[in-house]
Structure 1
Amino acid sequence: MNPISERGDRRPGPWLRYGAAAAAVAATAVTGATATDPDSAWYASLCKPSWQPPPWAFGVVWTPLYASIAYAAGRALGRARSPRQRAGIVRDLAADLALNAAWTRLFFGRRDPQAALAEIALLNLGNALLIRRIARTDRTAAGVLAPYAAWCVFATALNASIVRLNR
């Protein structure tokens, strides 16, 4: 049964909202994973900072981060009070996930750490906007996104260090 809000609109059921969020996040993860090649000769030739995690750590970190994005989006969509509010969440989530997937395409696919650095700055902005929008609906869901945003800031510092070390 779908709850009806004060304005009479039907909210999507949990299977739909969590399923759609999970599908969007999974598509982002697959898009990123297919572009990532930490074993390539190009990547091995790059100078990297001493504090860079080993390649296996990225999958260990990204798996729960992607799950948290799907959970936060599904939860926020369920708590949105109007179709307009839901549409804003969907729009900001889609933009954020597109930016997320684009980074790996730029860094590994095009082998352009400098372009990836500019792009990840936009991703950080997208994260802030997504968290802000979701916080208007559900502070808990917004808080769930904090580790994702923090990891992206870390990734930005790592990307910036790689750019600096390889000039």
Structure 2
Amino acid sequence: MQDLDVLRYPIGRFDYGTPIPLGETRAHIAEIDKLPIKLTELVGKWGDERLDTPYRPEGWTVRQLVHHIADSHINAYVRTKLALTEDNPTIKPYEEGEWAKLPDSQLDVALSLVILRNLHQRWVTLLDSLTETQLLRTYFHPATQRMVPLSEVIGMYAWHGEHHYQHIYRLAAREGWLEHTT
């Protein structure tokens, strides 16, 4: 079971509810900014065989992971804007496992890589502009019954991107795909 846990959480679990200092938030924004290029450099030239390989037993395929990252980060961007324009809005959770089964999760990953590149450019522009006061703005997450400050949202999505990047990177390392990306 421990080996499966390492495959599922290669960088550990995110520590929810811990205050995040401004310097760390700025570093998290920089990580969010870099993710689309890192991910594209890793998987952008892979063929179907690699893209349709699960990153772990009973896990999503690389293709599903890439589309999931786009789905998740689209939601995060909208939630960020809601928190900045409304007083502690209640966000809408979604069934990510069910989304990963929908037909668009079988499309070419280039579609989601382009979405991520453009979405992250907009999102990072917004995040870079936030004041310390704005970073304390919150939304309410009904699944966890918590008010979540934007500084935590930023940290969580920096973690989320790296979490899934590492799923794919470590699969590639195990399979010997890192030197030749065809």
**TM-score bracket for this pair, using the shorter chain length:** 0.3 to 0.5
Taking structure 1 as the reference length, the TM-score comes to 0.35
Larger Rg: 1
Flag the structure with higher strand content.
2
Taking structure 2 as the reference length, the TM-score comes to 0.33
- Of structures 1 and 2, the one with the larger relative CO (CA 8 A, separation 6+) is 2
